[in-house]
Structure 1
Amino acid sequence: MGHSECVFCTIVRGQTQASIVYEDDSVVAFMDLQPVTPGHLLVVPKVHAEGLEELEEAMGCRVWAVAHRLARALRRSDLRCDGVNLFLADGEAAFQEVFHVHLHVFPRFAGDGYRINANWRVRERDELDAGAAAVRAGLCELTTAQG
């Protein structure tokens, strides 16, 4: 999908309606059309990036900073908010549906119905150490690629 067909890009350009909560030169935040709970927001960089691999780190920091501020605002709002989840899906396997980076910010409260089902069992140290080594290797590759 090109930028012209990306729904978030059309929101950024003002071609698609959105209930905007916050906007600056870098990001826009608006209400999710299919909210998990009332007050569910999306924080979207104005620059098109399909996933984290394409997003500059500085822009990722800006998205996070705005999400942090909006999470605090949710707690101070009249919306029911006993907690907040931040959720970013990067890639189809991670359940990303709109391929323009976006960070979900949504209020939580007891009985809201949202659940993440996973196998949360404690892992063996050798498995954790092997995973840590793989991530460190990825960091080295990233550092080398950035020069």
Structure 2
Amino acid sequence: MPDCLFCLIAKDHEPSSCVFEDADCKVFLDIYPVSKGHMLIIPKNHYVTYDELSDRLRESLSKVTHLMCKAVMASDLAPLGYNIQVNNGTAANQHVPHLHIHVIPRYRGDVIKVMTHFLLQAPGIFIGKRSHKSLSPVVDIIRSAISDLENQPTISTG
């Protein structure tokens, strides 16, 4: 899709605060973060909603989502939990018509901020836009946690 913002990000034609990338998807920090470390996981090819995905791509995105959740929880951001959210279609408040999975770290005392965002869906009004430069330290923290997880020895249970 030539004018899709997330397609342009996937092809590096638009800047992003990328924390992870593989053959199928790209993960970057949301520039309207609900919380510190709020990231978006997108397929590199254009799909609007989750139901359009092939089984293989759905599985690939699921594995990356799992890795991102583990990374944010193991990171120095030290959240207490996280939300995973997918908005499918305009009726579900999907603002960018390219499938994206939100991983939103949760912190003590963030209920009002998070609920305001979920209820009003007003990025830029209640949640300020962040520059890529300001997100750079968070990118480094998450990348470090991903690297640590990927370099852990696996234990055979067999």
Please give the alpha-carbon distance, in whole angstroms, between the structure 1 residues aligned to 2:14 and 2:81: 30
| Deviations 1:29-83, CA, capped at 9 Å, x for gaps | 0000100001000000011011123222321221121111111110111114100
Report % sequence identity: 36
Q: Calculate the TM-score normalised by the size of structure 1.
A: 0.74
Choose which of 21, 24, 27 in structure 2 pairs with 1:23: 21
Whether 1:81 and 2:89 are equivalent positions in the alignment is no
C-alpha separation in 2, matches of 1:42 and 1:65: 14
Indicate the residue corresponding to 1:57 in structure 2: 55
> Root-mean-square deviation (CA), in Å?
1.2
AA of the residue aligned to 2:58: G
Write out aligned runs for 1:1-147 (5 A): 3-112=1-110, 113-115=113-115
Question: How many aligned residue pairs are there?
Answer: 115
| Residues in 2 aligned to 1:75 and 1:81: alpha-carbon distance in whole angstroms | 6
Q: Distance in 2 between matches of 1:57 and 1:25?
A: 16
**Quick one: distance in 1 between partners of 2:21 and 2:36?**
20
Distance of 1:108 and 1:80 partners within structure 2:
9
Q: Aligned partners of 2:76, 2:88: CA distance in 1, in Å?
A: 31
Q: For structure 1, list consecutive stretches of 5 or more residues without a partner in the other structure.
A: 118-147
Q: What TM-score do you get using the length of structure 2 for normalisation?
A: 0.69
Name which of structure 1's ranges 63-72 and 23-32 shifts more when overlaid on structure 2. Answer: 63-72
Cα separation, 2, equivalents of 1:41 and 1:11: 14
* Distance across 2 between alignment mates of 1:61 and 1:84: 20
Task: List, as ranges, runs of 4+ consecutive aligned residues in structure 1 with deviation greater than 4 Å.
Answer: none
Gaps of 5+ in 2: 120-158
Structure 2 counterpart of 1:133: none
Whole-angstrom CA distance in 1 between matches of 2:20 and 2:54: 21
8 A Cα contact 1:80 1:108, kept in partner? no
Q: Distance in 2 between matches of 1:29 and 1:59?
A: 15
SS at match of 2:42: strand
